[in-house]
């Protein structure tokens, strides 16, 4: 039995609807839908120890997970030990090999996430006083710096688009002959929202420039009081455009699997956290446990299992043991399962 594990960045549960994301909504609705799935923390660094390691982030020092000497195996390591081919596809630095998330991966496509440019940005952010005048001045002009770097590299967007990741993962899957585990983490619904023009036109009269979307995203996260009601409405529409673009790419991924492969594949769709667009006067995903930030979608397709709507509350930490149970592998007892694991798989 194969495993396709899709963890979207910053996708709110309330946007996986028949109006905004009809294909993804259809997938979730036709399979095992968990209506009250919650992230175990308000951001990527807190969610990925749970998503790939089924451990709480508070159980490790700093961001990420320990290296290979760690006695608790990751999801990928457990599957690899059982003979699975394994691969990861991400452009999020906090979910990359820089933080040991390549453990158990035969292949890891994260070169953009671990680039020297992103490492430098992270180093600068870590060294400066974030309440200081210099840091605040850099933030106000950050969209200009980012735009310049993208022009130099010849890139259209800050993050690799889902289209690219889908191409990579489908090509990798096509070359597999035995059981495989593929994890893919699209970044499109993470700010700044830079959906292709044809998607923006579905929500706006005219697409906004890359620079404007970057400036708006920076202000929403760091200076939300500066945004007007019109600004927040624009941010919301740009986010919906990204959701719709991502929806088409996820459908392309689903339909790339032949029926014979689909019938032998567990598919999981969830997110690491949500995003705020002016609710409570905040934007982005502040380190606070608001519903908009921690309520995430979760749908699981298990061959041979009928569709079911489950309203009991679960956490992202429950997903790795559920995946293993679905393919008949015992969850390592050195890991961290929760009580709802039994509820999910019973």
CA 148 – CA 142 distance, rounded (Å) = 10
Residues 6+ apart with CB under 8 A from 161: 188, 249
With 0-12 / 13-18 / 19 or more C-beta atoms within 10 angstroms meaning exposed / middle / buried, residue 255 is: exposed
Query: What pLDDT, in 10s, does the model give residues 257-301?
Result: 999 999 999 999 999 999 999 999 999 999 999 999 999 999 999
Confidence of residue 340 (pLDDT cuts 50, 70, 90): very low
CA 171 – CA 149 distance, rounded (Å) = 29
Overall CATH class of domain 2-345: alpha beta
Two structure tokens written together for 77: 């390591």
Confidence of residue 331 (pLDDT cuts 50, 70, 90): confident
Collapsing DSSP to helix, strand or coil, 316 comes out as helix
Spell 149-172 as b/e; 16+ CB within 10 A means b: ebeeeeeebbbbbbbbbbbbbbeb
**Vertex 137 angle, CA 133 and 140, to 5°:** 140
Query: What pLDDT, in 10s, does the model give residues 103-115?
Result: 999 999 998 888 7
Q: How far is CA 166 from CA 45, 232, 272, in A?
A: 23, 30, 18
**In the chain, where are the structural domains located?**
2-345
Looking at every residue in the chain, the average pLDDT score rounds to: 89
E runs forming strands in the chain: 2-8, 32-34, 37-38, 85-90, 107-109, 180-185, 265-271, 276-277, 283-284, 295-296, 298-301, 308-310, 314-315
pLDDT for 206: 96
Query: What pLDDT, in 10s, does the model give residues 48-94?
Result: 999 998 899 888 777 899 998 898 999 999 999 999 999 999 999 99
Two structure tokens written together for 166: 């889908």
């Amino acid at each position: 039995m194969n495993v396709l594990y899709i963890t979207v960045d910053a996708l709110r549960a309330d946007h996986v609807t028949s109006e905004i994301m009809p294909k993804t909504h259809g997938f979730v609705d036709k399979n095992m839908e968990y209506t009250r799935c919650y992230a175990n923390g308000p951001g990527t660094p807190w969610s990925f120890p749970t998503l790939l390691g089924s451990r709480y982030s508070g159980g490790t020092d700093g961001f990420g997970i320990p290296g290979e000497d760690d006695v608790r195996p990751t999801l990928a390591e457990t599957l690899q030990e059982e003979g699975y081919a394994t691969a990861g596809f991400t452009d999020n630095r906090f979910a990359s090999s820089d933080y040991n998330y390549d453990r158990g991966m035969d292949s890891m496509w994260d070169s953009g996430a671990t680039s020297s440019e992103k490492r430098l940005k992270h180093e600068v952010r870590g060294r400066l006083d974030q309440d200081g005048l210099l840091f605040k001045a850099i933030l106000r002009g950050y969209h200009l710096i980012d735009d310049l770097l993208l022009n130099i590299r010849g890139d259209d967007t800050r993050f690799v688009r889902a289209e690219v990741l889908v191409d990579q993962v489908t090509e990798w899957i096509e070359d597999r002959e035995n059981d495989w585990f593929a994890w893919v983490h699209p970044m499109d619904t993470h700010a700044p929202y830079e959906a292709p023009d044809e998607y923006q036109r579905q929500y706006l009269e005219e697409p906004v420039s890359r620079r404007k979307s970057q400036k708006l995203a920076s202000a929403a996260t760091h200076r939300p009081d500066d945004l007007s009601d019109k600004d927040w409405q624009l941010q919301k529409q740009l986010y919906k455009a990204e959701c719709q673009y991502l929806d088409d790419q996820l459908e392309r991924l689903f339909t790339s699997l032949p029926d014979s492969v689909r019938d032998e594949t567990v598919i999981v769709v969830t997110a690491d956290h949500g995003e705020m667009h002016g609710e409570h006067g905040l934007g982005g995903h502040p380190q606070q446990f608001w519903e908009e930030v921690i309520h995430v979608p979760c749908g699981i397709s298990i061959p041979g299992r009928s569709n079911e709507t489950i309203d009991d509350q679960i956490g992202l930490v429950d997903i790795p043991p559920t995946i293993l149970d679905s393919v008949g592998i015992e969850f390592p007892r050195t890991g961290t399962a929760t009580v709802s694991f039994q509820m999910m798989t019973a």
